[in-house]
């Protein structure tokens, strides 16, 4: 008995987490089985797993995940490149910064998702309109964090390199750029969430495939379990991406302790 207690105490947090998840799923399943008999409302973990297996067997999962992932990765990649480029430009040239700043501030704070129906009208119901929405959702956090990373560089480091005869080019490539990397990575990580929301919501507005389509089509047909499959995929995908980028951040800039 003592051994068990000792083992528990050694890894209390992990045990508690596992217990919590198991109990939570159990209660959820019991509510589904005994309390609420409406499959529209109460979909327990068992029903969701069953729906997942069915959808997977029909190849639906692969189709929807591939579509949403394609929209996400293309829009995100272009957004990241443009965001970094504009952020560097804004940080290096004050006139450019003053001219662009009000526009990016407005666009950053605007619910750009509302433009999705217009993009769909303009670019069609396919993947292109979603890529555009993902792009404008992802570009601004990258831009702002790149800008902040470059402008908040430690002045002492710059002075040190300069006093040892470093050229402006050397200062930029040896000091400014490396020391802006952690914030840049933070920006890239923050855009992920926005980009996923952009993809999903623009699929809500009109699409033929994708996880957002799966969710909205399933709820319209009152197949709540299928909708939960979509949500579960997003939960896992979001969590994995977030952790991967956190890991990358630690590897690329181990000296920097992210506060987020």
Partner 1 sequence: MSVAVKTAPPFPPLRRSPQLTGALSVLAGIALWQVFYDGLARTDYFQAYAINHFFVSPWQVVQSFADLYQSGELVRNCYFSFLEFFYGFLLAIAIGVPLGFLMATQEKLNNFLDPWVSCIYATPRVALAPIVVVWFGLGILPSSLIVFLGAVFPILLNTYTGIKSVRRNLIDVVRAFGGSPWQIFLKVMIPDATPAIITGMRLAVGRAVIGVVVAELFGAEAGLGFMVYLYSQRFMPGPVFVGIVVLVVFGIAAFVALDKLQRWVSPWYAFQLQQQVQGLEME
Q: Among residues 158 and 185, whose Cβ is nearest to partner 1?
A: 185
**Nearer CB in complex with partner 1: 7/235:** 235
User: Based on CB atoms, which residue is closest to partner 1, 96 or 160?
Assistant: 96
Residue nearer to partner 1 on the CB measure, 160 or 235: 235
* Minimum distance of partner 1 from residue 23's CB (angstroms): 8
To the nearest whole angstrom, how small is the minimum distance from the Cβ of residue 24 to partner 1?
6
Q: Whose Cβ is closer to partner 1: residue 20's or residue 167's?
A: 20
> What would the DSSP string read from start to end of the chain?
-HHHHHHHHHTHHHHHHHHHHHHHHHHHHHIIIII---TTT---HHHHHHHHHHHHHTTHHHHHHHHHHHHHHHHHHHHHHHHHHHHHHHHH-HHHHHHHHHHHHHHHHS-GGGGHHHHHHHH-SSHHHHHHHHHHHHHHHHHHHHHHHHHT--HHHHHHHHHTT--HHHIIIIIIHHHHHHHHHHHHHHHHHHHHHHHHHHHHHS-SSSHHHHHHHHHHTT-HHHHHHHHHHHHHHHHHHHHHHHHHHHHH-TT-----
Minimum distance from residue 31 beta carbon to partner 1 (Å): 13
Q: To the nearest whole angstrom, how small is the minimum distance from the Cβ of residue 182 to partner 1?
A: 11
By CB under 8 A, name the binding residues for partner 1.
12-13, 16-17, 19-21, 24, 40-41, 94-95, 97-103, 106, 109-115, 117-119, 121-122, 141, 186, 189-190, 192-194, 196-197, 200-201, 204-205, 211-212, 215-216, 218-220, 222, 224, 227-228, 230-231, 234-235, 238-239, 242, 258-260
Q: What minimum distance in Å lies between the beta carbon of 185 and partner 1?
A: 11
């Amino acid at each position: 008995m003592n051994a068990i207690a000792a083992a528990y105490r050694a890894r209390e947090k992990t045990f508690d987490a596992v217990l919590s998840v198991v109990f939570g799923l159990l209660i959820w399943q019991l509510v589904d089985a005994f309390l609420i008999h409406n499959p529209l409302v109460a979909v327990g973990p068992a029903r969701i797993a069953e729906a997942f297996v069915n959808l997977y067997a029909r190849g639906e999962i692969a189709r929807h995940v591939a579509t949403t992932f394609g929209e996400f990765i293309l829009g995100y990649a272009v957004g990241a490149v443009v965001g970094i480029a504009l952020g560097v430009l804004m940080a290096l040239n004050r006139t450019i910064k003053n001219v662009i700043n009000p526009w990016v501030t407005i666009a950053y704070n605007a619910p750009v998702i509302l433009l999705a129906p217009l993009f769909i009208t303009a670019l069609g119901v396919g993947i292109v309109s979603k890529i555009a929405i993902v792009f404008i959702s992802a570009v601004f956090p990258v831009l702002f964090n790149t800008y902040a990373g470059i402008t908040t560089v430690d002045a002492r480091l710059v002075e040190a390199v300069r006093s040892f005869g470093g050229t402006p080019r050397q200062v930029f490539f040896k000091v400014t750029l490396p020391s802006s990397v952690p914030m840049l990575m933070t920006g890239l990580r923050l855009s992920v969430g926005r980009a996923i929301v952009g993809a999903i919501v623009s699929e809500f507005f009109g699409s033929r495939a994708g996880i957002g389509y799966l969710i909205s089509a399933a709820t319209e047909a009152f197949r709540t379990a299928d909708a939960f499959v979509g949500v579960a995929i997003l939960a896992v995908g979001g969590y994995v991406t977030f952790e991967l980028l956190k890991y990358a951040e630690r590897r690329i800039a181990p000296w920097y302790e992210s506060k987020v």
